[in-house]
Structure formats: C-alpha cells, structure tokens
C-alpha cells in the first residue's frame, strides 16, 4: 500500500513551531494547497541521539502509520498518508478544530458524569 503524499501539495506557514505534541511527537498545522483544507501533521521527536534508540522510535512511528492506514471506523480519524519534508517524515490526517480526545473528554466531564457515562 502506497501511503506517500506529494510534499509539493503541502503549504507550510512561516511559523514552523509545533502547536502541540505528546511523549514522542510534535504536532503541526499545515494546509493542503489544492483545497485549502487544514491538515494535522505529526513528526517524530527523538528523545535520544543513540542510533539504536532512534531506530526503535522510527520503527514504532512507521508501525503506527501502517496500522492507522488499515483502520476504517467512524470513531477513528482518517489517515491521509505520509509526507517527507526537509528530510523528516510526517503522519498526515485531517485537522480537528476542537482539539484532541483528551481535551474533549475533559471539557465534557461535567456532562458525562451526571449522565452516568
């Protein structure tokens, strides 16, 4: 399965700072130039320069891409593919305006708890 996107279709704003991230990745907003739609692009952020640790992190990152590419469910965000920009690989998905699942759940805890959910 070819999961590679063309980097020529991605617009990078002048600010190249991540807007968020997790334990091992940084998250960026980019734009798909043909439609102007926002994209979420996730880039590996190595914790170590040790070649063995870096290799393990890269394999896990690519494994995430492979698994995500097969997931098709209403509750799973679609995976658009991989793109390489300036020598770094990104996982690409649609941008969700209201944040990630953790923020969503925290924001709706007051609704969920009285509802017994």
Alpha carbons 105 and 113: distance in angstroms, whole number: 11
Q: How many domains does the chain have?
A: 1
Q: How far is CA 47 from the centre of its chain?
A: 18
Provide the pLDDT for residue 70. 95
Instruction: Write out the residue range of the structural domain in which residue 76 sits.
Output: 7-115
70-106: pLDDT as tens digits: 999 998 999 999 988 888 889 999 998 877 777 777 7
The pLDDT of residue 42 is above 90: yes
Task: Identify the CATH number of the domain in which residue 27 sits.
Answer: 3.30.200.20
Alpha carbons 19 and 69: distance in angstroms, whole number: 24
Residue 29's Cβ-count burial label (10 Å; 0-12, 13-18, 19+) is middle
14 lies in some domain:
yes
111 lies in some domain:
yes
Alpha carbons 99 and 29: distance in angstroms, whole number: 12
Widest Cα–Cα separation across the chain: 50
67 lies in some domain:
yes
19-29: pLDDT as tens digits: 888 888 999 98
User: Average pLDDT in the 35-63 region?
Assistant: 89
User: Average pLDDT in the 9-30 region?
Assistant: 80
User: Using CA atoms in the order 64, 69, 71, 72, what is the torsion angle rounded to 10 degrees?
Assistant: 150
Provide the pLDDT for residue 78. 93
Alpha carbons 70 and 27: distance in angstroms, whole number: 22
């Amino acid at each position: 399965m070819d999961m590679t996107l063309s980097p020529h279709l991605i617009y990078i704003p002048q600010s190249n700072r991540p807007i968020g991230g997790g334990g091992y990745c940084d998250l960026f907003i980019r734009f798909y130039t043909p439609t102007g739609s926002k994209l979420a692009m996730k880039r590996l952020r190595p914790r170590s320069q040790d070649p063995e640790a870096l290799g393990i992190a890269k394999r896990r990152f690519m494994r995430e891409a492979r698994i995500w590419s097969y997931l098709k469910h209403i509750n799973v965000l679609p995976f658009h593919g991989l793109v390489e920009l300036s020598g770094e690989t990104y996982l690409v998905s649609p941008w969700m305006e209201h944040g990630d699942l953790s923020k969503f759940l925290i924001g709706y805890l007051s609704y969920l708890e009285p509802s017994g959910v």
